[in-house]
């Protein structure tokens, strides 16, 4: 025992530490309840689920200029994949999002992949809202039991507006984006 700290003070300090630790159910904790009422029906999570984790994805999406398979001589910007940090509302890094395949990985080592169920427009210049059905988690941690992932509050991320033609074929461009990723579990 530390002789400079009275026994009562040590007990209070230990209780405070235990109390703080008990509130850390998982490191990807919710900040405030998420309400999906204002979202288009196509991207709403079905009844019987509850929010488990809320994150803000901040990163970039890579696109590549490629020839269109069904239209010889035509080219288009094609989605290559995302790379983003998953942050708490306070800015602490909780994990990453990358792909393909679309993968959400927690800093605790658990991760999920998913299959897109639906998208809905999110406004000009923004990638669409999205609803994903999560595959069973790999590893044990914050992603264990996740059933659905919603992408909402999107900003940016759409394909480049620069020319994509035969002279640009194969060129890649990176576009910044931000979106909230809401993770759901069965209630």
5 vs 172 pLDDT, higher one: 172
pLDDT exceeds 50 at position 177: yes
Q: What was the pLDDT predicted at 34? A: 80
pLDDT exceeds 90 at position 33: no
pLDDT exceeds 80 at position 24: no
Residue 22 tokens read as 């008990």
Mean pLDDT, rounded, for 24-36: 55
> Domain coordinates of the chain in residue numbers?
26-186
pLDDT exceeds 90 at position 96: yes
pLDDT exceeds 80 at position 97: yes
pLDDT exceeds 70 at position 15: no
Confidence of residue 104 (pLDDT cuts 50, 70, 90): very high
2 vs 159 pLDDT, higher one: 159
CB-based contacts of 116-120 (< 8 A; 24+ apart in sequence): 118/42, 118/43, 119/42, 119/43, 120/39, 120/40, 120/42, 120/43
Q: What was the pLDDT predicted at 60? A: 98
* Per-residue pLDDT reduced to its tens digit, 77-87: 999 999 999 99
pLDDT exceeds 80 at position 3: no
> Rounded to a whole number, what is the largest CA-CA distance in the chain?
82
Q: For the chain, where are the E strands, in sequence order?
A: 49-67, 75-87, 93-98, 103-106, 111-120, 129-134, 146-156, 172-186
* Per-residue pLDDT reduced to its tens digit, 150-160: 999 999 999 99
pLDDT exceeds 80 at position 117: yes
Mean pLDDT, rounded, for 48-56: 96
Residue 96 tokens read as 């990453």
Strands 103-106 and 49-67, how do they pair? unpaired
């Amino acid at each position: 025992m530390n002789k400079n700290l009275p026994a009562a003070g040590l007990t209070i300090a230990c209780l405070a530490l235990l109390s703080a630790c008990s509130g850390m159910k998982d490191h990807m904790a919710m900040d405030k309840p998420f309400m999906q009422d204002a979202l288009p029906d196509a991207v709403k999570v079905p009844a019987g689920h509850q929010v488990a984790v809320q994150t803000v994805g901040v990163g970039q999406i890579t696109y590549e200029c490629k020839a269109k398979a069904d239209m010889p001589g035509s080219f288009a910007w094609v989605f290559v994949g995302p790379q983003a940090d998953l942050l708490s509302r306070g800015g602490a890094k909780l994990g990453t999002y990358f792909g393909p395949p679309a993968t959400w990985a927690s800093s605790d080592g658990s991760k999920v992949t998913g299959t897109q169920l639906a998208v809905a427009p999110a406004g000009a210049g923004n990638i669409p809202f999205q609803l994903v059905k999560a595959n069973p988690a790999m590893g044990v941690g914050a992603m264990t039991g996740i059933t659905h992932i919603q992408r909402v509050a999107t900003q940016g991320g759409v394909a480049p507006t620069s020319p994509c033609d035969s002279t640009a074929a194969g060129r890649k461009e990176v576009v910044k984006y931000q979106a909230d990723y809401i993770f759901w579990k069965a209630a």
